[in-house]
Amino acid sequence: MYLVATGDGRLYTGITTDVARRLEEHRAGKGARFLRGRAPLELVYHCRVGARGKALRVESLLRRRPREDKLEVVASAPSRRALLRRLGCA
């Protein structure tokens, strides 16, 4: 699971098995339409959360959180366990 900050200050949440590759795809304009034309893109947080099913659940829960909660995740960079506990997935 990862969070990317866009040039216009928005936050994008996604999942992947290879964060570096996925970030380069985003920067190349491939993948998420939301990120196209919003450069520069900066990886601000990433965390291995488990198998695909769990990652999808964590991504969904974090996407629904208010911006302030996402910024708190970025600022505190919680461990996997702390992030899952914060989202109620532990």
Rounded to two decimals, what is the model's pTM? Answer: 0.94
2.60.40, 3.40.1440, 3.30.1560, 3.40.50: which CATH number matches 2-87? 3.40.1440
For 20-79, the pLDDT digits (tens) are 999 999 999 998 999 999 999 999 999 999 999 999 999 999 999 999 999 999 999 999
Domain coordinates in residue numbering, the chain: 2-87
Round the average pLDDT of the chain to a whole number and report it.
Answer: 96
Distance CA 66, CA 57 (A): 16
Region 3-32: mean pLDDT is: 96
pLDDT score at 38: 95
